[in-house]
């Protein structure tokens, strides 16, 4: 790998104000046109371990519009060759990519825990999701189905085929640093597009690992281009770039809105996966022990930093007291620590800004009239926690549905228990937020389960399971402020990364005018 130009190191959001050991910090580069190159400016930022910010993982380029331009040019150059490569051949390369990901799963998992903080088991799940997505989507290389349909005139054939969109810009967040890039990258590639990929500045290593694997699999130069760096300027340079026909974005609703506006200005296609405020309903007939397991996993897995996190637990009043007590006891037993320690249940949050935001919401919750801080609520700063971003898993009880902690996405280990009078009341509360990603209900009554499945206005719904657990062969995405109508994963993602072309073949040998000529029977 080429060495970065004279590195000008800028402060990363993960920086804790403490100095990192300077020796042997590896430098990484952008991947443009099949070459690993430093950013034009030579500026880099340091990627740190959120469990211990003295541990510097590597230096990554801080890219600007110049780097984005170079990456887009490379994608343009590669596009014709790649789209003319038959889809089953593209698939063969992607199957090779799947094998490489499997071979490196343990290394990629450890890298991810180190840079993102989630516990090893969950990081392994993130890598596995990329593997699943790669195999499932590569299989589409021999399908990519279009359709035929009768034409309204005689001796005329009608069919519909998929064509690639063109050059795609992919912008991804830090919480699933390999899974989410793969959800976008692999479908884009199987459809014949070329891409520029920008991962979150906080977690570039996992995406670097994915792109490095693409290189090893033999994806031709220029088909996949990686630029690292901040949303401003690198991400914004992508959303404004006239040659990027599509921007696929996952991140916060606020940034998504900016991305959508920039795309609207230049008539680019834009698919958005954004925030959530997901609810589990626990009915009075539920298996409470099972519901507690689901609530703990949903609320505190990945330290609550999942778009599908169970940040609201809506509990029928008849079991409210029992559920709340049990939940608090179990939450207090969770082990907080470095995700690399197999005994850890809850790892750190991503960076100092996240600590500030989450602690801000804990303050807000404590000041909301009626809500009770039932457990947690503190940042841990001593001993093993001194150099990381650790927050206690936190439960608020007696939360009213309209309180800010019950309405806004906190994206941390904080959940709110909300009492409900009936199923109808619970569903109304579940739907009463601006987001619509995932929802769940615990009940033993099939009628209640179906009522909830039908009435909860979300893109994903679970029965007797937490709000977390999507599988790659089903569509993923949400309603309202969570998305803009698209779905990733499943075969539905192909509708993002390909466009339909309707083709009419008239073999009558004469002019036939649809809607005008009368067809004689």
Q: Which residues bind ligand NDP (CB under 6 A)?
A: 171-176, 198, 200-201, 230-232, 235-236, 239, 250-252, 255, 258-259, 273-276, 307, 409, 411, 437, 478, 482
To ligand NDP, the closest distance from the beta carbon of 299 in angstroms equals 14
Contact call for residues 175 and 306 (beta carbons, < 8 A): yes
Between residues 16 and 172, which has the closer beta carbon with respect to ligand NDP? 172
Measured from each CB, the residue nearest to ligand NDP is 231
Q: Which of 236, 251, 243 is nearest to 268 (CA)?
A: 243
Give Dmax over CA atoms of the chain in angstroms.
Answer: 88
To ligand NDP, the closest distance from the beta carbon of 233 in angstroms equals 9
Between residues 136 and 411, which has the closer beta carbon with respect to ligand NDP? 411
To ligand NDP, the closest distance from the beta carbon of 346 in angstroms equals 18
To ligand NDP, the closest distance from the beta carbon of 410 in angstroms equals 10
Tell me, yes or no, if 191 is annotated catalytic: no
Cα–Cα distance for residue pair 338/346, rounded to 1 Å: 8
Between residues 180 and 449, which has the closer beta carbon with respect to ligand NDP? 180
Which two tokens mark 59?
Answer: 């230096």
To ligand NDP, the closest distance from the beta carbon of 309 in angstroms equals 8
To ligand NDP, the closest distance from the beta carbon of 228 in angstroms equals 8
Q: Which of 266, 205, 276 is nearest to 236 (CA)?
A: 266
Q: Residues 168, 307, 375, 461: which is the catalytic one?
A: 307
Sign of the Cα pseudo-torsion (24, 30, 31, 35, in order)? negative
Cα–Cα distance for residue pair 192/183, rounded to 1 Å: 15
Measured CA to CA in angstroms, residue 450 lies from 317, 441, 443, 462 at distances of 21, 10, 10, 11
Burial class (CB in 10 A: 0-12, 13-18, 19+), 261: exposed
Tell me, yes or no, if 77 is annotated catalytic: no
Between residues 177 and 222, which has the closer beta carbon with respect to ligand NDP? 177
Between residues 319 and 456, which has the closer beta carbon with respect to ligand NDP? 456
DSSP string, 97-139: HHHHHHHTHHHHHHHHHHHH---HHHHHHHHHHHHHHHHHHHG
Between residues 230 and 390, which has the closer beta carbon with respect to ligand NDP? 230
Q: Residues 43, 46, 273, 488: which is the catalytic one?
A: 273
Q: Which residues of 457-490 are buried (b: 16+ CB within 10 A; e: fewer)?
A: ebbbbbeebbbbbbebeebbbbbbbbbbebbbbb
Active-site amino acid positions: 273, 307
């Amino acid at each position: 790998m080429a060495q970065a130009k004279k590195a000008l190191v800028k402060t990363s959001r993960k920086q804790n104000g403490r100095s990192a050991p300077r020796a042997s910090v590896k430098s990484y580069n952008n991947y443009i046109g099949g070459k690993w190159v430093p950013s034009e400016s030579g500026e880099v930022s340091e990627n740190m371990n959120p469990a211990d910010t003295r541990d510097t993982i590597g230096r990554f380029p801080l890219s600007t519009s110049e780097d984005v331009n170079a990456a887009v040019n490379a994608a343009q150059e590669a596009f014709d060759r790649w789209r003319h490569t038959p889809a089953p051949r593209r698939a063969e390369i992607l199957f090779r990519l799947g094998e490489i990901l499997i071979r490196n799963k343990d290394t990629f998992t450890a890298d991810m825990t180190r840079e993102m903080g989630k516990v090893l088991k969950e990081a392994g799940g993130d890598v596995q999701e990329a593997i699943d997505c790669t195999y499932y989507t590569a299989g589409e290389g021999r399908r990519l189905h279009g359709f035929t349909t009768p034409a309204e005139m005689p001796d005329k054939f009608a069919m519909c085929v998929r064509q690639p969109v063109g050059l795609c810009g992919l912008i991804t967040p830090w919480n699933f640093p390999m899974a989410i890039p793969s959800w976008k990258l692999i479908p884009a590639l199987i459809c014949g597009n070329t891409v520029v990929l920008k991962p979150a500045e906080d977690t570039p290593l996992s995406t670097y690992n994915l792109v490095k694997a693409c290189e090893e699999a033999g994806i031709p130069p220029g088909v996949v281009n990686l630029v690292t760096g901040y949303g401003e300027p690198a991400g914004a340079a992508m959303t404004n770039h006239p040659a990027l026909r599509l921007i696929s974005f996952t991140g916060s609703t606020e940034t998504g809105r900016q991305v959508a506006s920039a795309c609207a200005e230049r008539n680019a296609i834009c698919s958005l996966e954004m925030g959530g405020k997901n609810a589990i309903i626990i009915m009075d007939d539920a298996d409470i022990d099972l519901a507690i397991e689901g609530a703990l996993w949903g609320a505190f897995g990945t330290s609550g930093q999942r778009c599908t996190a169970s940040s609201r637990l809506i509990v029928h009043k008849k079991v409210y007291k029992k559920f709340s007590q049990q939940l608090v006891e179990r939450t207090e037993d969770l082990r907080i620590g470095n995700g690399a320690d197999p005994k850890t249940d809850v790892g750190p949050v991503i960076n100092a800004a996240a600590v500030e935001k989450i602690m801000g919401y804990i303050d807000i919750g404590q000041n909301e009239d009626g809500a009770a801080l039932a457990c947690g609520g503190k940042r841990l700063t001593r001993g093993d926690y001194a150099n990381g971003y650790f927050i206690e898993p936190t439960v608020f009880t007696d939360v009213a549905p309209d309180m800010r902690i019950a309405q806004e996405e906190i994206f941390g280990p904080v959940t709110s228990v909300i009492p409900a009078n009936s199923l109808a009341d619970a569903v109304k509360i579940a739907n009463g937020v601006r987001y619509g990603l995932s929802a769940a209900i615990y009940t033993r009554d099939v009628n209640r389960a179906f009522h909830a499945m039908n009435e909860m206005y979300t893109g994903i719904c679970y029965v007797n399971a937490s709000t977390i657990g999507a599988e790659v062969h089903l569509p993923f995405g949400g309603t309202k402020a969570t998305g803009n109508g698209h779905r990733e994963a499943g075969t539905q993602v192909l509708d993002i990364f390909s466009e339909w072309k309707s083709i009419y073949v008239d073999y009558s040998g004469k002019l036939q005018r649809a809607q005008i000529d009368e067809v004689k029977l």
